[in-house]
Every structure is written in C-alpha cells, then in structure tokens.
Amino acid sequence: MASDTGCSQSTAPRPILIYLATTNAHKVSEFQALADATGGGLQMSAASPMPAVPEDTGTFIGNARQKARAVQSFLPKTAWVLADDSGVCVDALGGAPGVESAYFAGPHHDSTANLNKLTAVMQAVPLGQRGASFQCVLVLLGPDGSEYVAEGRCDGTLRLTPVGGHGFGYDPLFEPTGYTKTYAELDQLTKNNISHRGRAWSKLIAQWR
C-alpha cells in the first residue's frame, strides 16, 4: 500500500554480521575499519565464547581454517565466520617466529613478552640484515558451505627498539619498506592500506563480493 505522501518507502538492507575467530579487541577494530573502508554494510563481532583451538598445523592457512571451523561449529547455521592467522617472519631467524608468532615467548606469555623476546633476540643482528615480513592468511566460511581464502604480505625491516603507541603485537618493531615509521607509528588508514592484513582483506573482498 502506498504511503500518504505518494512515495514508496524503502528499508535499508541489514548489515551482514561476520563473527571473528578471535578474542583480540584490536583485531576486531582493525577488521571493522577495513570493512568500513570497502563498504558493503559489514559488521564485525568477536565470537563469544571463543573456543580454545590448537594452532598446530604448521601453516598460516591450516591454523586459520582450523579456527574458522571451530567457531562455525557452535554458531547459527546462517552465520559467516572469518579467521586469520598471521605472524612476522624474520630473515635472520630463518623465517621464525612465523606461525609461532603468538607463542614466541612461550604458550603462557602475552604479546608484550613476545615483542620483548624478539627485540632481545635481534639485538646483535646488524641493520643491513634485519629484513622481515608480516604475513597473513584469511579464511572466510559461509553458511552455504563456501570458503574464501586470501593471503597478504608486507615486507620491511625490524628496528633495534620498539617505537610507537598504536597497533599491537610486533607492530612497534616493524618498519614497512618505503616508510620511516613503524606500524605502531602509522595512522590507522595508512596502516590498513599497506598492511599484510589489509592486503589480504582486499583480495578476500574481491573474491567474495
């Protein structure tokens, strides 16, 4: 039935809710910023409760898929689930900590301890040999059984000491190629445009939407 004004009324589409397989509030904020930048009405929410998932596959894609499937198993059948696995791969350490980045200082330590350990381990490595890359794999699972996978990478070097108060994890130690600031010194928009996670997200969106 038409309205009294003679104009039909439209209802804005509801945003698509995506559950993130993480308890890290920083990651939720970062993914929401990425989603907002690419449009499409996506709303990010941390999965709760987040089950304890062993990250023992030895690969970023294996760990991400394992986390996504674990979360999907207890959510409504209509849910979308996104999981990421990422880490910093240091040339001088043969690619370590890599998939073990979250546990570099031990299974019961936090991100500060991980950052402090990497800073200490790299102290004797000269400036010309401090190459590193941040790598990320995203796995998005849909309610229809679909799976989308995307990878992102950002190359750079490690500073001698952590600098910057933004970001999280190893961000204060990592200076991306072409920049004179660490991830933790960059504003969020700049970081999202060049980061491993931002690049993976762009590829994922191109596949999915």
Active site residues: 85
DSSP state of 52: P
| Residues in Cβ contact with 43 at an 8 Å cutoff, skipping those fewer than 6 apart | 15, 16, 17, 18, 32, 35
Q: Which two tokens stand for residue 168?
A: 């999280």
Q: What is the C-alpha to C-alpha distance for residues 199 and 188, in angstroms, rounded to an integer?
A: 14
Q: What is the C-alpha to C-alpha distance for residues 205 and 119, in angstroms, rounded to an integer?
A: 34
Yes or no: say if 152 and 198 are a contact pair by the CB < 8 Å rule.
yes
Name the amino acid, one letter, at 24: N
Yes or no: say if 31 and 44 are a contact pair by the CB < 8 Å rule.
yes
